[in-house]
A and B are shown apart, each in its own frame.
Chain A
C-alpha cells in the first residue's frame, strides 16, 4: 500500500523531469552530434532530482500549506489588522533580504554601475550601492505582501491595482536611467523563492477563505504578482534617486 503510493509519487516527479531530459538529449545527440558526457553522473543527478521533488511536494502538503493557512486563519480570527499587516510585511521582507539570488543580482548590478561610471567605483561605494538596492527590493516585497493582504481584506479588485502598477512601471521605464532598467525587470523575477511562494499562496488562500464574501480563487491569488511588480518600481525609483 505505502510502496504503491511512493511509487506513484516518484512516477509523477519523473514525469515532471522528463521534458528536460528529452530536450538535452535531443540537442546533444541530433543537433550538436556529441555523445552524452558522464552518463553515470547525469543519471545519478536525475535520480536525486526525482527523489527531491517527490519529498518536496509531500512536504508542501504536510507542512508549508497547512502552516500558511493556519497562520492566516488564526490572524484573521484574532481580528487585529495591525498584527496581520505586520506579519505580511515581515514575511515579505525577511524572506527576501537574505535571498541569495537577490544578493547576486545586486552585487552584479553594482559592478556594472561602477564600470559605466554612474557611481564611484571604490569598493565601499559599490557595497553601499548593492546594499541600498537589496534593501529597496526587500522593503518593496514586504510592502507588496502588505498591500496584497489589505486588498484581500477590503476586497479591492486585483486588476485595478495591477494595471495601475504596470502603468507606473511603463512611465518610470521612460524616465529611468537606461542602465537600471534590465536589473529592475529582473529584480521582479528573483524575489519569489521556492519556499516563499507556497507559503504566500497559502496565506492568501487561507485569508480569502476565512473572510466572508471573498472567493479563494478570485481574491486569494495575486500576492505573488504584487511581490514581483513592486520591486520593479522601487528599483527604478532607486536608480532615479541615485543617478539623478
Chain B
C-alpha cells in the first residue's frame, strides 16, 4: 500500500516533467506546422512507456539502492571507520581516506553505466556513426571519466583545496585536447559531459559529498558539498577525447608501419 502511494507520487512528478514538452509539441503541431504527427499512435504509446518506465526506475532506485548507497557513503566517511578509533580528529589526513576514494570511483563508474540519458545518447551516436562508435565503448569511456572525476572530487573535499583551481586546470586540458582531437568526436565528447549527471548519479554522489564535508573538520557542507557534479561533467569530456585521440594514434601508427616495408 505504502509502495503504491510512493509510486503514484513519482509517476505524478514524472508526468509534470513531461507536461511542458507535450504542450509545446502539440502547440507547434497545431498552430505552426498544421499537420498531423506521423505514426501518432506509436509515438503516444512510446511516450507512455517512457513515463512509466522512468517512474518505475526511480521508484526502484529510491526503494533499494539510494538508501543503501547513502548509508554506505555516511559509514565510509565516518571518522570512526577511517581512523579506527573514536578519537577527535583535528586535521584530516588525506592518506587515510583510501576506501572513500575507491568507493567514489566505483560508485561513479557503476551509476554512470546505468544512467538513462547516457544510454540514449550512446544509442543515437551509434546510429549516426553507422556503428563506428560502439554503445558500450562510449558508455565505458564516459564512466571511467566520471569515476576519476568523483574520486578527484572527494580528494579535493578531504584536502580542502579550492574548487576553481581544479576546474581551471580541467578546462585548460579540454581546450588543448580540442585542438588535437579528431573533429568528428568533439561535439559528442562535449555532450557526454552534460549527460552523466542526472537521475542515478546525482543523489548518490551528493550524499557522498555532503557526508564527507560534514565529518571532516574545517569543511563547510554548504560550500564544500557542492562541486562534485562539476567534476563528474568535466572529466568525461577529457576521457572521450583522449580515447578518440588514442585510437587515431593507433591507426596512424599501424599505417606508418605498413608503409615502412614498402619503402624498403
Query: Do residues A185 and B230 form an inter-chain contact, with CB atoms below 8 A?
Result: yes
B54 to chain A, nearest CB (A): 5
A74 to chain B, nearest CB (A): 5
Q: In the assembly, what is the distance between CA of A219 and CA of B60, in Å?
A: 37
Which A residues touch B232, using CB under 8 A?
A: 189
Verify if A131 is at the interface (C-beta below 8 Å from B).
no
Query: Do residues B197 and A198 form an inter-chain contact, with CB atoms below 8 A?
Result: no
Query: Do residues A42 and B64 form an inter-chain contact, with CB atoms below 8 A?
Result: yes
Query: Do residues B128 and A216 form an inter-chain contact, with CB atoms below 8 A?
Result: yes
Contact with A along B179-191 (1 / 0, CB 8 A): 0000110111011
Query: Do residues B17 and A195 form an inter-chain contact, with CB atoms below 8 A?
Result: yes
Query: Do residues B188 and A56 form an inter-chain contact, with CB atoms below 8 A?
Result: no
Query: Do residues B128 and A189 form an inter-chain contact, with CB atoms below 8 A?
Result: no
B225 to chain A, nearest CB (A): 8
Task: Given A218-B183, A223-B191, verify A56-B54 contact (CB < 8 Å).
Answer: yes
Query: Do residues A224 and B121 form an inter-chain contact, with CB atoms below 8 A?
Result: yes
- What is the interface of chain A mostly: helix, strand, loop, or mixed? helix
Query: Do residues B110 and A52 form an inter-chain contact, with CB atoms below 8 A?
Result: no
Verify if A159 is at the interface (C-beta below 8 Å from B).
yes
Q: In the assembly, what is the distance between CA of A163 and CA of B237, in Å?
A: 13
Verify if A202 is at the interface (C-beta below 8 Å from B).
yes
The residue from A63, A95, A170, A199 contacting B168, defined by CB atoms under 8 A apart: A170
Size category of the B interface is 35 or more
Task: Given A59-B53, A185-B163, A195-B50, verify A65-B124 contact (CB < 8 Å).
Answer: yes
The residue from B13, B63, B106, B190 contacting A44, defined by CB atoms under 8 A apart: B63
Verify if A126 is at the interface (C-beta below 8 Å from B).
no
B257 to chain A, nearest CB (A): 28
Query: Do residues B45 and A63 form an inter-chain contact, with CB atoms below 8 A?
Result: yes
Query: Do residues B194 and A227 form an inter-chain contact, with CB atoms below 8 A?
Result: yes
Query: Do residues A20 and B111 form an inter-chain contact, with CB atoms below 8 A?
Result: yes
Query: Do residues A58 and B53 form an inter-chain contact, with CB atoms below 8 A?
Result: yes
Contact with A along B124-147 (1 / 0, CB 8 A): 110111000100000000000000
Q: In the assembly, what is the distance between CA of A71 and CA of B163, in Å?
A: 41
Of residues 156 through 185 on chain B, the ones whose CB sits less than 8 Å from some CB of chain A are 163-164, 167-168, 171, 174-175, 178, 183-184
- What is the interface of chain B mostly: helix, strand, loop, or mixed? helix
Query: Do residues B114 and A52 form an inter-chain contact, with CB atoms below 8 A?
Result: no
The residue from A16, A94, A169, A181 contacting B21, defined by CB atoms under 8 A apart: A94
Contact with B along A37-61 (1 / 0, CB 8 A): 1000111111111111111111111
Query: Do residues A188 and B110 form an inter-chain contact, with CB atoms below 8 A?
Result: no
Verify if B245 is at the interface (C-beta below 8 Å from A).
no
Which A residues touch B54, using CB under 8 A?
A: 52, 56, 194-195
Verify if A17 is at the interface (C-beta below 8 Å from B).
yes
Of residues 168 through 216 on chain A, the ones whose CB sits less than 8 Å from some CB of chain B are 169-170, 173-174, 179, 181-183, 185-186, 188-190, 192-199, 201-202, 205, 209, 215-216
Query: Do residues A64 and B103 form an inter-chain contact, with CB atoms below 8 A?
Result: no
Verify if A70 is at the interface (C-beta below 8 Å from B).
yes
Interface residues of A (CB under 8 A from B): 16-17, 19-20, 22-24, 26-28, 31-32, 36-37, 41-67, 70-71, 74-75, 78, 80, 83, 87, 90-91, 94-95, 97-101, 108, 111-112, 115, 157-159, 162-163, 166-167, 169-170, 173-174, 179, 181-183, 185-186, 188-190, 192-199, 201-202, 205, 209, 215-225, 227-228
Q: Which 3 A-B pairs have the closest CB atoms?
A: A63-B46, A45-B64, A62-B46
Interface residues of B (CB under 8 A from A): 13-14, 16-18, 20-21, 23-25, 28, 32-33, 35, 37-39, 42-65, 68-69, 72, 75-76, 81, 99, 103, 106-107, 109-111, 113-114, 116-117, 119-121, 123-125, 127-129, 133, 163-164, 167-168, 171, 174-175, 178, 183-184, 186-188, 190-191, 193-195, 197-200, 202, 222-223, 226-227, 229-230, 232-233
